Chains A and B, each alone.
Chain A
Amino acid sequence: MTEEPKDTCDMIGSQKTNPSRDKDLAPYIKIKVLFFARARDLTGSTELCLEMPDGSTARDCMNKLLIEFPNLREIYNSMVLALNEEYAPESTVLRNKDELAIIPPISGG
Chain B
Amino acid sequence: MDSKEIGSGSSGADLLREIERLRSEKEELESRIHLLEAQIKPRGAAEKDKSGSCSLSSLSCSQMNGATISGLSPEMIHRYSRHLLLPDFGVEGQLKLSKSSILVVGAGGLGSPVAMYLAACGVGCLGIVDSDIVELNNLHRQIIHTEAYVGQSKVKSAAFSCHAINSSVKLVEHREALQAVNALDIVSKYDIVVDATDNLPSRYMISDCCVLLDKPLVSGAALGLEGQLTVYNYNGGPCYRCLFPTPPPSAACQRCSDSGVLGVVPGVIGCLQALEAIKVASAVGEPLSGRMLLFDALSSRTRTVKIRGRSPACLICGENAAFTREKFQSFDYENFTQSPMSDKSSEKLNLIPESSRITGKEYNEIVNTGEPHVLVDVRPIHHFKIAAIPKSMNIPLSNLEDKLSTIDSALKQAAQDSGKCASLFVVCRRGNDSQRAVDYLSKNGFPSAKDIVGGLQSWSQDVDHTFPSY
Contacts and interface: CB of A to CB of B under 8 A. Distances in A.
B305 A37 contact: no
Interface stretch (A23-31, A61-69, A75-83): A75-83
Interface string B301-345: 111111110000000000000000000000000000000000100
Contacts of B246: 77-78
A85 B304 CA distance: 7
Contacts of B221: 105-109
A85 B306 contact: yes
Interface string B252-270: 1111100101000010010
B244 A103 contact: no
A26 to B, nearest CB: 31
A6 to B, nearest CB: 16
Contact of A74 (B249, B255, B306): B249
Contacts of B106: 109
Contacts of B414: none
Contact of A106 (B223, B299, B302): B223
Contacts of A103: 228, 292, 294, 305
B380 interface: no
Contact of A87 (B249, B307, B343): B307
B447 interface: no
B456 interface: no
A82 B252 contact: no
B244 A108 contact: no
Interface in B272-317: 292, 294, 296, 299, 301-308
A78 B111 CA distance: 25
Main secondary structure of the interface of B (DSSP, over half): mixed
A37 B221 CA distance: 11
A80 B222 CA distance: 16
A106 B222 contact: yes
B108 interface: yes
Contacts of A109: 106, 108-111, 196-198, 220-222, 256, 266, 269
A75 B197 contact: no
B129 to A, nearest CB: 14
Main secondary structure of the interface of A (DSSP, over half): loop
A38 B248 contact: yes
Interface residues on A, range: 20 to 34
Interface residues of B, number: 48
Nearest to A86: B306
B200 interface: yes
B200 A107 contact: yes
A82 B305 contact: yes
A53 interface: no
B69 interface: no
A108 B252 contact: no
A108 B222 contact: yes
B312 to A, nearest CB: 14
Nearest to A105: B244
Nearest to B259: A108
B290 to A, nearest CB: 9
B148 interface: no
Nearest to A82: B305
Contacts of B243: 80, 105
Given A107-B223, A109-B221, A109-B266, A87 B305 contact: yes
A103 B230 CA distance: 13
Interface string A20-51: 00000000000000001110000000100000
A13 interface: no
Contact of A80 (B259, B292, B296): B292
A36 B305 CA distance: 12
Most buried by B among A1, A37, A74: A37
Contacts of B253: 38, 105, 107
Contacts of A85: 303-306
A52 interface: no
Nearest to B238: A87
Given A36-B226, A78-B247, A109-B111, 7 more contacts: A79-B244, A86-B305, A103-B305, A106-B223, A108-B256, A109-B110, A109-B197
30 contacts: A36-B294, A36-B296, A38-B248, A74-B252, A79-B248, A80-B305, A85-B304, A85-B305, A87-B305, A101-B303, A103-B294, A104-B248, A106-B221, A106-B223, A106-B227, A106-B228, A107-B198, A107-B223, A107-B254, A108-B198, A108-B223, A108-B256, A109-B106, A109-B110, A109-B111, A109-B198, A109-B222, A109-B256, A109-B266, A109-B269
Interface of A: 1, 3, 36-38, 46, 74-75, 77-80, 82, 85-87, 101, 103-109
The 5 residue pairs across chains A and B that have the minimum distance between CB atoms = A108-B223, A78-B248, A106-B221, A82-B305, A109-B198
